[in-house]
Chain A
Amino acid sequence: MFTNRREFLKTTAALGGAAMLPYSLAMGADAPLMAIARWKGDENAPMMEVAEKLTVEAIRAIGGLEPFIKKGGTVWVKPNIGWDRTPEQAANTHPGVVKALVRLCYEAGAGKVKVGDNPCNDIRKSYQNSGIEAAAKEAGAEVVYLDRNRFREMEIGGKRLTSIPIYPDIFESDLVISVPVAKHHSSTRVTLCMKNYMGVVENRKKFHQDLPYCIADLTKFMKPRISVVDATRILMDHGPTGGDLNDVKITRTVAAGTDIVALDAFGAELLGNKPELIGTIRVGAEYGLGVIDYKSLNPKEVTAA
């Protein structure tokens, strides 16, 4: 439908209507959108509530999901459900973020919202112990247990990756929203929105010999339009698996936006890294997927309580 990001953004800005108008005027019609929601409420509020409210605020601040969602279309919400870990261990996306996002998709007119990942650990244990299966179902999503035999080899024409088996249901969705948790990663230092796309493929083990280019190739092929970073609590060390609560930092933040590189840069900074030193982010910028200096986008700072 859209041949490039610029055209897409122009159209969405036009379709966005009154709600988006002031923001569009301030930023220029083709400017990427980005918002950061921080918690200013009770520190003892349950994280589920914090996560849900922050997600709602962050999405509202970028003008809602309506411009991205085809009426009656299918949305694949792609959290990081990589590991058999509990929500407080910060190895997977917080279920509250996923739940709020699924609801927002339906409110924005989605016909069907699917949630699924290709985990590293057992799929059933990861879905259940992460709390995501229950939360997503509560919000009305279809939770999909990927069938390993359905992956389809696709030509992606990247620099490093030419073809890779991709899960067809994800690829064929009208919109894929990458919604990772921000965490440390022993190979790439951080894992965020771009690296989260590794959950839509199989045969990904050889990526590790050149993760930045493989991830950027895949991200480019998936044409991200909107991503959400769950930084309600982040994993500072021993990632991507974690498991020790001493490695977890409570940050109560959710960021959303259309520039995947900027979001990753924001997340990397939150994890205590210089974004320009992260391979995936550097190559993402090199590929033109976004900008490293996320502050140059004037991200909208909002709060929730």
Chain B
Amino acid sequence: MRHPRRPRSWMQWTRRVSQAVFLLLFIGLAISVRLGDASSPGWGPRFFFDLDPLTALATALASRSMEVIAWPVVVLVVVTVFLGRFFCGWICPLGTVHTLATALRPRKPRAADNRRSPWHRVKYVVLVALLVMALFGVHWTGIFDPIPLMFRSLTTFVLPGAQYGIEDSATAVYQADPHIGPARATWITEPVYRFFRNYVFQVDRQALDGGVFIAFWFMLIVGLNFWKPRFWCRYICPLGGLLGLLARKPLLRLRTKEGTCTGCGLCAMACPAAAQPDQPGQWLPSECYGCWNCVASCSRGGITFSFAKAENGKRPTVGEVDFSRRAALGSAVAGAIAVTGFRQSPQAQEVVYNPWLIRPPGALPEREFLQRCIQCGLCMRVCPTNALHPCALEAGLEGLWTPRLIPKVGYCEYNCTLCGQVCPTGAIQPLTVEAKHQVKLGLAMFNKNRCLPYAYDRNCIICEEHCPVPDKAIYFVEEEITRRDGSKIVLKRPHVDPDKCVGCGICEWSCVFRDEAAVRVTSANESRNNANQPILPGESGDSPY
């Protein structure tokens, strides 16, 4: 069957432009975080986090503080109540990715793909369960919330992947240097490489530990568009659910002109939300993204969005949200069970601490940190040394994709406070450089069975060289030792001063061993945890007696 030509709708095109602008803005802001002034991240993508009501609500519940609620959230909530879920159709960068993926479907959606389904209520179930979890301090909305989800995906694999693709292709050409006579391929590739190097990426790309699982999650939810259009937005997205609950009775409503509808179903085929535009009086405002596809699709021009009331003084009737009190109660119970389950580990109950869970400088105590962190990955993106990585299970299931420092990959730069400056929820507190110098992330320890001057009788001391503490937390003692052949040499053997060590990890990073460093930093002595302070400050007493 041939698709009839769609009438034009300038609103539909305005919406597409809006989607493109916000998506590009989101990506551009993510790129800009690593450019320019090394002491300030600039504006960053903060705007999007400040606009996100789910992040604001869940963080407020989890941290029991209102400071995370910024004015753009208030504006968005008010606008949604009056105009509907237009955020999903016009602004949400992840929504735009889904729109693009839906457009790439090999098969155009049929009316049957876009019928109302009981699955619509899953997003409300997810929403309520997540909010109940947040109330008990398990802040898991970031795993599902499109803004953190999208940013985390950009950070962990989209942007590093783009940089890898461009730079390494150019470098491969540069190194092979193919040419025909005087003409060289590098004449084209090198200017491209330089443009990206100087204006887009500037510094070396990041590689994030475990980013592949975040990529998998992202690919999965994008791939689901091939099953049902905007599957994620329709059925799963808890932010969509929250906005949907706010938009149950908007002032702006879909209106079908009397006597125009032939029941052809074109509008239903065009509706990515399955919001029933084809059933006058039963249109679902809590599902509708306000995308204007239905208006554009109606060959008789019978559908409009309008604030106007009908002759009887009433607005058109709308369909109800399909989420019963019983379902809500069930979701809440499920959330409570999840919290209980997540907490059944020695670490969650603070019996032990994970030695390799080193949090960024300025991170709140673990419990409070988890009540605020939305796993967005902004700290990882801004980190100049590629030190911060998403946790797998190092912080428990509760701490999935929260940031941890892996010193062997990147250390915490002594004068850098960027992660605290960008954190949208205050899980990492902003610090002045002076305050940051006092913060201990952990404590270095030497593995004397590996460290060259101890284990292999060779001089080395790179760790001492790199130690950024002005009077050196790593110091060395010169010792004369006897070699295999009986000759004597002097070795500089390193030690750690636990009072001075800030746990930045540059010793581990700089260690000549690239598999497992001979000096490692564990979370012991971290400033944020009084219970994890094994070392009594000051020198030890002179005598054990």
Contact = CB atoms under 8 A, between A and B. Distances in A.
B116 interface: no
A60 interface: no
Report whether over half of chain B's contact residues are helix, strand or loop; otherwise say mixed. Answer: loop
B39 interface: yes
Given A145-B203, A186-B465, A243-B470, 19 more contacts: A84-B414, A84-B416, A121-B413, A121-B468, A125-B413, A128-B39, A129-B38, A149-B167, A149-B171, A149-B204, A152-B175, A185-B465, A186-B461, A205-B462, A208-B459, A208-B512, A209-B512, A241-B468, A242-B470
List 3 A-B pairs, minimum CB-CB distance, nearest first. A243-B470, A244-B470, A122-B384
Interface string B127-138: 000000000000
Contacts of A84: 413-416, 468
A42 interface: no
A84 B468 CA distance: 9
Interface string B191-214: 000000100001110000000000
Contact of A243 (B175, B202, B385, B468): B468
Nearest to A85: B415
A243 B434 CA distance: 13
Given A149-B171, A205-B512, A125 B465 contact: no
A150 B194 CA distance: 13
A208 B461 contact: yes
A238 B510 CA distance: 17
A148 interface: yes
Interface in A146-174: 147-150, 152
Interface string A259-294: 000000000000000000000000000000000000
A187 B465 contact: yes
Contact of B510 (A123, A149, A205, A209): A205
B202 A145 contact: yes
B204 A147 contact: yes
B258 interface: no
Nearest to A191: B465
B171 A147 contact: yes
A128 B512 contact: no
> Interface extent on B, as a size class?
35 or more
Contacts of A149: 167-168, 171, 204
Nearest to B456: A209
Interface residues of A, number: 30
Interface of A: 84, 120-125, 127-129, 145, 147-150, 152, 185-187, 205-206, 208-209, 238, 240-244, 247
Given A147-B204, A152-B175, A125 B466 contact: no
B470 A238 contact: yes
Given A84-B415, A121-B413, A148-B204, A186 B464 contact: yes
A122 B470 contact: no
Nearest to B414: A84
Contacts of A124: 38, 202-203, 384
B311 interface: no
Contacts of A123: 203-204
B427 to A, nearest CB: 23
Contacts of A187: 459, 461-462, 465, 492
A128 B460 CA distance: 29
B472 interface: yes
B104 interface: no
B471 A244 contact: yes
Nearest to A128: B38
Contacts of B37: 128
B476 interface: yes
A240 B492 CA distance: 16
Contacts of B476: 186
Nearest to B472: A238
Contacts of B171: 147, 149-150
Interface string B409-431: 00001111000000000000000
Nearest to A146: B204
A240 B384 contact: no
Contacts of B39: 125, 128-129
Looking at A145, A206, A208, A238, the one whose CB has the most chain B CB atoms below 10 A away is: A208
